[in-house]
Structure 1
Amino acid sequence: MQHPTFRKRWLTAAIAAAACSSSAFAQEADQESSDLPVVRVVGEAVSEPTTEDTGSYTSNRVTIGKQGLTLKETPQSVSVITRERMNDQNMTTLDDVLTRTTGITKRDFGPTASVYLSRGYEIDTMLLDGTPIDSAIGVTDTMFDTAVLDRVEVLRGPAGLIQGSGEPSGTVNLARKRAQEEFGFQSALSYGSHDAYRGEIDVTGALDESGRLRGRFVGVHDDRNHFIDHVYTENTTGYGTLEYDLTPSTTVSVGIMDQSGESRPNYGLPQLANGELLDIDRSTYHGSLWDVKDESIERYFAELEHELDNGGNFRLIANHIDRETDTQQSTAGVSIPTSNSDDIDIWQWRIVNPRQDRFVDATLSTPFELAGKTHNLMVGASHRITEEETLFGSGDPQFIQRNLANPNPNTPKPTFDVNQTRDLETQETSLYSQLRLSVLDNTTLIAGGQVSWWESEDQLDSTNNFEIDSEFTPYVGLIYDINDQVSTYASYTEIFQPQSSQQVNGDFLDPRTGQQVELGLKGEHMNGALNWHASTFKITDKNRGITDLDNPGFSVAEGEAESEGFELEVTGRLTPRWDISAGYAYTQTELVNDPEQEGRPLSTDTPEHDLKLWTRYRFSDNPDQGWRVGAGLNYSSEVFAEAGDTRWEQGGYTTISGLIGYRLNRNLDFALTGENLTDKKYFETVRARTRNNYYGEPRNFMLTMRYQY
């Protein structure tokens, strides 16, 4: 590998792994709760949210809305990426998952960080079991390893009831693997293109004879170079959790997730001044050999769940996250070249970013009887505190020059003057409620909302204090069951987003409000083994800050934007041997009230057409033995970036992926996966004149051996 070795840090919770090897594990696994592939009934419904060992590409129950609801009971578009599909497509990172999810597009910032978009807006909230997890400077951390996850749930559109403030894009819920009562052991070894090495271990089981105390440990080390010269990532993840049944109806769980990583990042390429895309070798690196990003994240969590006698549920969850990144980087960012062989200026800089997040949430959900029908009421409260410090500065010298086509990365490391500091503290408190009324035998009315108090203190050159009091975000939905398999729905959702721009009187702008109307159909067939949905939506984004033409340098909250389109998705089992996940999204965005940009797209890097298809076929009726093959494609229509009168375009393109796998028996499996099999050369991200333009990855393969017991 072309990088130094760094100290690997494992969790103290690894003691759970040792404990799990005790002789306390003595019973066979139950299909709904175990990792063990003892019995897999082809076509059986997935009645629980857990997807491990179901062999399914779908789950008809999700937990993203603070309750365990079926997909048909959720009047918004939701996609579920199951454990089985993550294994089949070798999705080892959050980036792998989201770039294969219906309607989600990517704005690249290198191999360890990206922004993801839904319906034209950035997804700015990620949840871990329903609680927010940190993101640095608005950029999603793609270092998050999926080996610790059972499934990923993606809701598209405003999620104000779930998350309070944010963009009207949607939210992503990462559902952790839970400790199981029955013993389970899994391991995997992988080797692939660009010297990619990966190892996983996963062990779970009871820690006492009664099974009331359970533990789980997952450990991963991932070490790989990149298709770009000199770029690498090396990540270690450890996850440990303990669960204890205080009573038959009350469970408490605690855990820790520790991630540490070192990488040599890449911040992309410039584009040519005449509007043409660069045409140089995809492996070209414009950074320096001293470039490095060190990152560590520790997440601690505790949860108490109590099942009420009437079938209701109370859940209290708290988490604490410590994160620190230290990046020393040289990147293109100033020059606009005129040809593929120009010299360009390279900016040398350093940024250190410690951050701490604390979150607590309490939810009570209870059924009740009224007028001979059963209804449900959910109430809850949450509080979040985020403290972030950013120290940054340029190198000495601040700029050096490199040739665009033949750069020399072997340059002296500068001295850094990290003399600028920004301190940011944000607090948000929310009260929320949702009422589900069975108004008719086949009709459900949902009404609810959230009241939020938001405040921020931002210190850079001066201190800015900003508060939002009692901001209400409503939620209304109606579901009509056409028959036992198909339902139709309508929903109205909102969300708010604070703005930091100021009016001429010195006040901050009122928050933006994102309002969405969505209509759709959902179907559930073969006892839940196959799910589909079709939806159409329109988002109106009001109070956007635009330039105050009468008072230059200030803003007014009079801008407006729109996003509209439709989505189709089908996931699950077509026949006992054939599984599929297919999704299509059509999206149009427009700035409708902005004197300087009216009529232009809100998001030029959101394609109008986005198609994602993956299918797998097994040649044996026995899912625990035999050959399988898989194939997929991702299609994106044109995206572009603009600066003044210059426009850079990446035309529509298609990439092809594939799988060949053989399961020797219920314990041992081999799989070879490949991406971009036609070796298509394209820009995955077209973003700016001077940097942040990224080639998509060339053809690559990964061979994986899995063992489970």
Structure 2
Amino acid sequence: MSFDAAQTRGRQSPGLRGVYAVDEGFAALLSGSGLRAVRQASGSYILIDLDAQGALELDATTVTGSRLDATTGGSGSYTTGVMGTATRMPLSLRETPQATTVITRQRMDDQAMTSITDVVRNTPGLFLSRSNGPGRPAFSARGFDIDNVMYDGLPSAYQGWVVGVQPNLAMFDRVEVVRGATGLVTGSGNPSAAINMVRKRPTIDPQVRLSGGAGRWDDYRGEVDVSGALNDSGTLRGRVVGAYRDAHSFRDEEEHDHGLFYAIAEADLSERTTLALGFSRQEDQTNFFWGGLPIGIDGRHLDLPRSAYPGTDWENKEQKVNTLFGDLEHRFDNDWRLRLAAMSSWQDALFSGTYLRRDPALDMYHYAYQSGHDEDQNALDLYASGPLQWLGRSHELVFGVSRRENEMTTQEYTGNGFIPVGGARPDFVRAGKTHNITTQEGAYLTTRLSLADPLKLILGGRLDWYEYDNRSGNGDYKVTRNLTRYAGLVYDLDAHHSLYLSYTDVFQPQTQKDNAGKLLEPVVGENYEIGVKGEYFDGALNASLAVFQIDQKNRASLLADQSGCSTFPTSSCYEAAGLVRSQGVDMELQGALSENWQVGAGYTYTRARYRKDDDPANEGERFDTDQPEHLVKVSTLYHLPGQLEKWRVGGSVYWQSRVYNDVALSGGTYRLDQGSYAVADLLLGYRANEHLDLQLNLNNVFDRTYYSAIGYDISWGSTDTYGEPRSYLLTAKYTF
């Protein structure tokens, strides 16, 4: 904030009570003063005298940088000031000793993102896989699948190939991503990444935002976002978001629609206590979600038209998820705070679909399948955090407990099987169900020690009790007191650069047993990382370079000698001896290059190889050939200066290296591949006035033809899936 001292002479402010974002805080501070804080493109603020007539002169004003806070809505930035996904501590990107990215509200709007799949596709270091079918996306990072998605810091199980719901971005302020092992905050999982979806919160100032869009293939979408204080004092605030999208596709006959309702209320129970309660309901429907296009019996692409639809006219996928969430926070006099957060979600899903498959004679059929899924997830987290003094220096401490529960009921049907290509819907009849409950309880502690002014050490640990209860039969297992460790050292080289190194890990229970009939120890993913981070313009621009190594060890390996196996030949025995090693480089730049220029760019190289496996032929080979080793993602937005200041231009480039599968044939194998490819998008925006904004997005401008997923079997695995051709979307936004 910078201003002329004469502007504030003789004026008073009532001060602040409660928790505010920056813009809201300034509005409350200056209420009734005749002054207004106006944010500049650089992130700094100036004071405007509302009572002044004509032009306002600020002879002694100097515009300087102003640090961003966590909330990104309205900031216009491609980065954020602080994030707590890695450690529960509100640290800047530079202070966090892991590779981190934030996809801000501005970036979501610029690239017309609508779901988490758009976020994954555009986030450096993350890979969006369609190998399970177009409607069952999977996410990965550093060579391993992502199996957790967090909401406001609470982890939730994600299985995109089963029933994973695709969160609608209309209700989120930003998405925070931490790459590598993240067991300190998620508990169990793979050493890939944590994706934290941070919801929008109510504002004090009233705001109404309407948005409508229309695009190629009858893609129509609308959104309304209303927020503001619900009483005169501003101690009670609310926000409601509604969104709907109805669209077809470049594939013939394909269609889908998505609906969202989101509401949240926030109340200051006292000067130091805030309660928030919210509810969301999301409904998604599509008639194409499973298999893709088949490959030839020679293992090659059939090169069918991109518009080819491999489904039938009766299939359908419906998902409905209701979520109730809330948090209660109390702030003590000594800068400590206590936070309790909880979330419950109930998902109902019914899948009726087909995929193309060949029988043993290699004749083509549709394989029909139907299943119903009822998934309930609950999460609870209670923690305290704050500063402490020790040996004359100030440090930080976080400690807490958490609990997760996932209850899944799957309804099975008869009628699943081969039908003629394009055949009528079978008579599906309920035949039974499976029911299982997974619970995980944990206790964690993290501290950030100030060893010296430029040197900070972060140490953390977590104990987890994990239990899987198969209510449908045998197969129960548990893990008791699993220890997860975290260590990070950050050294400030100068005012703008820091060097860091870190160790993190995560565990994943497994069901295989050894010769003694004992469950194998959990798979452990260890992440070693060293890097350098840069922070410029008071945090408006962040840069990073990291080198990492991940060892996923204790993987189940089939024993070559089963003579000592008490359950053989009914079931085989294993040992925890497998090892996969992932090594690579992570580079990123995010934020403002100038007052008018935002950029988000990253390059990732990942080399994941089997080091030890029960199949010696795998050792030294790629862990997953469906994932590219090189990824480049660049997004940018530039506001034109001078007389063209109402215009903005931008675009993005996505590039990935080659992927392949070795397809088994009767006489050997054929290597089916998708070579490296690049896709470019463009953006043109025009702000007609202070209320109306227009934007045109052109995607795949050069109409590049490519496969976003490739098949792997001539009989099974018809997942050749084309990427989207050239498309456009025109969006109008009205704010008042």
TM-score, structure 2 as length reference: 0.87
Query: Hey, what does 2:613 align to over in structure 1?
Result: 594
Residues 661/110 of structure 1: CA separation in 2 closer, same or farther (3 Å cut):
farther
| Structure 1 residues 76-475: aligned runs within 5 Å | 76-108=98-130, 109-136=132-159, 141=164, 143-267=166-290, 268-334=292-358, 344-395=364-415, 398-402=417-421, 409=422, 411-460=423-472, 462-475=473-486
Q: Is the 8 A contact 1:113 1:142 kept in 2?
A: no
Q: Is the 8 A contact 2:709 2:722 kept in 1?
A: yes
RMSD: 2.2
Q: Is the 8 A contact 2:134 2:721 kept in 1?
A: no
Residues 502/332 of structure 1: CA separation in 2 closer, same or farther (3 Å cut):
farther
Partners of 2:226 and 2:115 in 1: how far apart? 20
Q: Is the 8 A contact 1:271 1:337 kept in 2?
A: no
Aligned to 2:202, what secondary structure does the other structure show? Answer: coil
Partners of 1:570 and 1:630 in 2: how far apart? 16
Given the alignment of the two structures, is residue 585 of structure 1 paired with residue 577 of structure 2, yes or no?
Answer: no
What's the CA shift string for 1:276-304, capped at 9, x where partnerless?
A: 22310112112111101111000001100
Partners of 2:90 and 2:642 in 1: how far apart? 32
Q: Is the 8 A contact 1:639 1:649 kept in 2?
A: yes
**Residue 333 of structure 1: CA displacement?**
3.9
Q: Is the 8 A contact 1:40 1:53 kept in 2?
A: no
Tell which deviates more after alignment, 142-151 or 447-456.
Answer: 142-151
Query: Hey, what does 2:3 align to over in structure 1?
Result: none
Given the alignment of the two structures, is residue 556 of structure 1 paired with residue 575 of structure 2, yes or no?
Answer: yes
Aligned to 2:122, what secondary structure does the other structure show? Answer: coil
Residues 38/225 of structure 1: CA separation in 2 closer, same or farther (3 Å cut):
farther
| Counterpart AA for 1:54 | S
Partners of 1:394 and 1:676 in 2: how far apart? 42
**Residue 33 of structure 1: CA displacement?**
6.4
Partners of 1:139 and 1:375 in 2: how far apart? 44
Q: Is the 8 A contact 1:270 1:336 kept in 2?
A: no
What's the CA shift string for 1:580-606, capped at 9, x where partnerless?
A: 111000000000001412111112122
Query: Hey, what does 2:48 align to over in structure 1?
Result: none
Q: Is the 8 A contact 1:29 1:183 kept in 2?
A: no
Query: Hey, what does 1:513 align to over in structure 2?
Result: 524
What's the CA shift string for 1:613-646, capped at 9, x where partnerless?
A: 11111113699x6111112210000011234434
Query: Hey, what does 1:575 align to over in structure 2?
Result: 594
Given the alignment of the two structures, is residue 620 of structure 1 paired with residue 672 of structure 2, yes or no?
Answer: no
Aligned to 2:512, what secondary structure does the other structure show? Answer: coil
Q: Is the 8 A contact 2:298 2:670 kept in 1?
A: yes
Partners of 1:434 and 1:75 in 2: how far apart? 14
**Residue 308 of structure 1: CA displacement?**
2.0
Query: Hey, what does 1:662 align to over in structure 2?
Result: 686
TM-score, structure 1 as length reference: 0.91
Query: Hey, what does 1:5 align to over in structure 2?
Result: none
What's the CA shift string for 1:49-87, capped at 9, x where partnerless?
A: 000111111113113132221111210001001111111
Aligned to 1:61, what secondary structure does the other structure show? Answer: coil
Q: Is the 8 A contact 2:68 2:540 kept in 1?
A: no
Q: Is the 8 A contact 1:35 1:52 kept in 2?
A: no
Residues 459/637 of structure 1: CA separation in 2 closer, same or farther (3 Å cut):
same
Residues 658/35 of structure 1: CA separation in 2 closer, same or farther (3 Å cut):
farther
Q: Is the 8 A contact 1:231 1:266 kept in 2?
A: no
Residues 349/210 of structure 1: CA separation in 2 closer, same or farther (3 Å cut):
same
| Structure 1 residues 36-55: aligned runs within 5 Å | 39-44=38-43, 45-55=66-76
Query: Hey, what does 1:56 align to over in structure 2?
Result: 77
| Counterpart AA for 1:546 | S
Q: Is the 8 A contact 2:294 2:711 kept in 1?
A: no
Query: Hey, what does 1:498 align to over in structure 2?
Result: 509
**Residue 401 of structure 1: CA displacement?**
3.3
Partners of 1:33 and 1:696 in 2: how far apart? 45
Partners of 1:35 and 1:701 in 2: how far apart? 38
Partners of 2:125 and 2:480 in 1: how far apart? 33
Residues 687/130 of structure 1: CA separation in 2 closer, same or farther (3 Å cut):
farther
What's the CA shift string for 1:248-305, capped at 9, x where partnerless?
A: 1110010101011221123212323433223101121121111011110000011001
**Residue 395 of structure 1: CA displacement?**
2.2
Q: Is the 8 A contact 1:604 1:641 kept in 2?
A: yes
Identity rate, percent:
34
Partners of 2:368 and 2:128 in 1: how far apart? 26
Q: Is the 8 A contact 2:147 2:157 kept in 1?
A: no
| Counterpart AA for 2:79 | T
What's the CA shift string for 1:458-510, capped at 9, x where partnerless?
A: 245x3221010000011011000011111010000010001122334333221
Q: Is the 8 A contact 1:264 1:292 kept in 2?
A: yes
Query: Hey, what does 1:19 align to over in structure 2?
Result: none
Q: Is the 8 A contact 2:22 2:69 kept in 1?
A: no
Partners of 2:21 and 2:182 in 1: how far apart? 37
**Residue 324 of structure 1: CA displacement?**
0.8
**Residue 161 of structure 1: CA displacement?**
0.3
Q: Is the 8 A contact 2:21 2:71 kept in 1?
A: no
Q: Is the 8 A contact 1:299 1:322 kept in 2?
A: yes
Tell which deviates more after alignment, 239-248 or 43-52.
Answer: 43-52
Partners of 1:453 and 1:468 in 2: how far apart? 6
Q: Is the 8 A contact 2:444 2:460 kept in 1?
A: yes
Q: Is the 8 A contact 2:147 2:159 kept in 1?
A: no
Q: Is the 8 A contact 2:94 2:534 kept in 1?
A: yes
Partners of 1:503 and 1:530 in 2: how far apart? 52
Partners of 1:83 and 1:34 in 2: how far apart? 21
Aligned to 1:562, what secondary structure does the other structure show? Answer: strand
Residues 437/531 of structure 1: CA separation in 2 closer, same or farther (3 Å cut):
same
Residues 29/491 of structure 1: CA separation in 2 closer, same or farther (3 Å cut):
closer
Q: Is the 8 A contact 1:273 1:336 kept in 2?
A: no
**Residue 393 of structure 1: CA displacement?**
3.1
Q: Is the 8 A contact 1:34 1:52 kept in 2?
A: no
| Counterpart AA for 1:522 | K
| Counterpart AA for 2:38 | V
Q: Name structure 2 gaps, 5 residues minimum.
A: 1-19, 29-35, 44-65, 563-568
Query: Hey, what does 2:718 align to over in structure 1?
Result: 691
Q: Name structure 1 gaps, 5 residues minimum.
A: 1-27, 403-408
